Structure formats: C-alpha cells, structure tokens
Amino acid sequence: MQVDSELLNDLYLSPLMTLRERAETAELAKSGSVEVLRARLIQHQVLGDFDLSWEGIQSMPHREIGEVLKIFGIKSSGSHKERRQRLWLHLNFDSRRMTIERLAEIDREKLHELCQFLELPLTGNRTVLMGRVAGVLTSQSKGWGRIKRSLRRNGIIVSSKNEEVIINRDEEDLIESENENKKIIPEIKDEVSNAALEDAHDSLMIGFEDADFGVQGDILTIQARVEDLDRMIGTIIKNRDGAWGEKEIDLLIRLAIRRGWPLKDDRVKQRLSEVATNIAEIKGADLGRITDLETNEMEHINRIKHKLSLVEKILSEEGKD
C-alpha cells in the first residue's frame, strides 16, 4: 500500500504539541492524548482517500484492513473480525480510558451500542453486555491505542524508489523484541512548554464548572500548583527509569497529599491523574512500562511462592508417612 511515507514518518515521531499544531492547521480537533491525535491525523491526512467509517471498515477485504492497521502502527494480525474490531476501537477511543474498569460506569444503552459496533450479540441485560465488551477489550489488549515502540523510536523503513512504506511483520517483531531487551530509558524533558502547562491548567477544571464550591476550590488550588505538578512528575519519571503507570500515579497522589494538596474527592484525584499522565506523555515517559525494580520484585515473589509450594509438598508427604 503506497502512502505519503514522509508525512507518516513525521506523525510517528512527532510529540504531542507538534501533533496539536498539525491538527489545528488542518482544522481538525486537537483534543486528546498523543496517540488519539496521531490516529486522527493519520486517518485524515495519510489515509484520507479511505472510508474509515464503521460501514467502510465492514466492507474492507481481509488483506486491505491488515495493511491499514500497519499504517496506523498497531497490531495487524488476527481474524478478519478481530482486525475490524481493532481498527474501529483505535479510531474511536483512547485506550487509556476505554478500559474494563470504566465499563462499570457505562449504561446499558451505550453498552448495547458498543456491542453493535463490535459485532457482538445484542441480547441480555447490562451485565451480560458488559461482559461481552470486556471480552473484546481483553482479547485486543495492547493491540490498539498506541503505535509500536519501534515506530515511536525509529520511524519507518522507506524505499527511496517508490516511496512505499515497507513493513515486514517478522522484521518489525524482531526490532520490537530487541528494543525490549535493551531496556532503553527514554529521554525525559525537565520542563514542558508554557503552552502545555496552560493546557494542563485549563484541563483540570473541565467538567467541574457546575460542581459545588468545595470541589471547585480544590481544583483552583491545584491549578495554582501546576508548575509544582510538572516538577513532581519529572522527578518521579526519572526515579522510575522513564516509566509512567498506575504505581507512579499512586506515588504522585501520596506525595501531593503529603504536601497538603486537597485530594479528598475521588473525582479530583481522577482528574489530577489524567492531567498528570498527559504531562508525563509530553515529557517523553513510557506509559504503562514495568520498571526493572517491579520486575525484580515479581521474580522475587515468584521464587518465594515456589519455595513455599515445595515446603508444603514435603510437609504433606511427611504427614502421609
């Protein structure tokens, strides 16, 4: 499949603020995370001639939809139905927000609509529908929502002859595997731009305009400390080898509470977490990666479990004697 490889490569490698500028120039919505923006720009600027509506996705042949998934930089293998589901999810949702945990907040009507678009049975109560959608999210885990790490770091291989994007799945998987083994720590920006801080400041209040005065007061207090928030996030990322995930967010919340930040309301905590993750993404953090420390902890726990199971086995055999 031939596309504008230079533009596609730029979109793979561009940071959030650059993607926002591109979206604004193209008169596209500039809201969302870096991956949401990247997918939107690829859809409209690289694959603008393709019908990527739900109906258009349904009419795509198996091989063509695989090529489109590769252009978006996400997993391209699987059955025809799995490919359709993955592409639709990638184009319509933020993978950080469309999670199994969030499904509990969705009403039956919306779940029914999700089942329809994901080509799932439509009968059953809310719990049944939620279980079906959760099954798809589980099977599609890490297959959509973020371009492959090798593309984020290295861009794409381009043939100078005809400007065709060359993506060999075996080579791509090999590069991905080698990058994982190298455990490269991403370069972290010490401070984000003023525009990014202003955006974070404004994002904190979105949705709280009609909240009670107490909650609004808490948000206003945090807004006044956005620069402190930026520094705290930077410190955490550097001490966690460039990673940012649930454990880093929990650490941020604990530090903020220790410093007297008003975080008693769960909604305020959630909003702070979302804004902090956006800042971490702009800084260059590797979202969702497990640090070496966590890996060592898990290995240690597994060894203890193994030894305990051996002890139990010996004790049970002695009991038989």
DSSP structure string for 141-201:
TTSSSS--HHHHHH--EE-TTT--EE--HHHHHHHHHHHHHHTPPPP--SS--HHHHHHHH
SS3 call for 286? strand
* pTM confidence score: 0.57
**Is 79 in the same domain as 205?**
no
**Is 250 in the same domain as 176?**
no
Cβ count within 10 A of residue 169: 12
Alpha helices in the chain (DSSP H): 5-13, 16-25, 34-41, 54-58, 62-72, 80-92, 100-103, 108-117, 126-139, 149-154, 169-182, 194-205, 213-223, 226-239, 246-258, 266-283, 292-320
Predicted confidence at residue 23, as pLDDT, reads: 93
pLDDT digits (tens, 9 = 90+) for 9-32: 999 998 888 999 999 999 999 888
pLDDT digits (tens, 9 = 90+) for 43-66: 999 999 999 999 999 999 999 999
Predicted confidence at residue 166, as pLDDT, reads: 44
Mean pLDDT computed over 237-252? 87
**Is 14 in the same domain as 124?**
yes
Mean pLDDT of the chain: 81
Given 132, 157, 182, the domain boundary residue is 182
Mean pLDDT computed over 258-283? 89
Helix crossing, 246-258 with 226-239: angle to 10°? 130
pLDDT at 249 over 60: yes
**Is 97 in the same domain as 128?**
yes
The owner of tokens 């939620």 is 130
**Is 67 in the same domain as 46?**
yes
**Is 131 in the same domain as 217?**
no
* 129 band by pLDDT with thresholds 50, 70 and 90: very high
Phi, psi at residue 145, to the nearest 5°?
95, -25
Given 134, 159, 182, the domain boundary residue is 182
User: Looking at per-residue confidence, does 160 or 111 come out higher?
Assistant: 111
**Is 157 in the same domain as 80?**
yes
Q: Is there a contact between 72 and 41 (Cβ–Cβ < 8 Å)?
A: no
Given 182, 214, 244, the domain boundary residue is 182
Half-sphere exposure of 130 (CA within 13 A, CB side): 13
**Is 161 in the same domain as 215?**
no
User: Looking at per-residue confidence, does 240 or 226 come out higher?
Assistant: 226
Domain annotation covers residue 309: no
Structural domain tally of the chain?
2
Among residues of the chain, what percentage have pLDDT more than 90? 37
Cβ count within 10 A of residue 133: 21
**Is 203 in the same domain as 147?**
no
User: Looking at per-residue confidence, does 31 or 316 come out higher?
Assistant: 31
Predicted confidence at residue 183, as pLDDT, reads: 47
Predicted confidence at residue 160, as pLDDT, reads: 44
**Is 172 in the same domain as 65?**
yes
Predicted confidence at residue 175, as pLDDT, reads: 44
Give me the domain span that covers residue 212. Answer: 194-287
- 45-53's contacts with Cβ under 8 Å and 24+ in sequence apart are 45/4, 45/7, 45/11, 46/3, 46/4, 46/7, 46/8, 46/11, 46/71, 47/3, 47/71, 52/87, 52/91
Predicted confidence at residue 101, as pLDDT, reads: 83
pLDDT at 273 over 80: yes
Tokens of 69: 């998934």
Q: How far is CA 27 from CA 21, 22, 46, 198, in A?
A: 10, 9, 15, 21
* 133 band by pLDDT with thresholds 50, 70 and 90: very high
Domain annotation covers residue 302: no
**Is 156 in the same domain as 41?**
yes
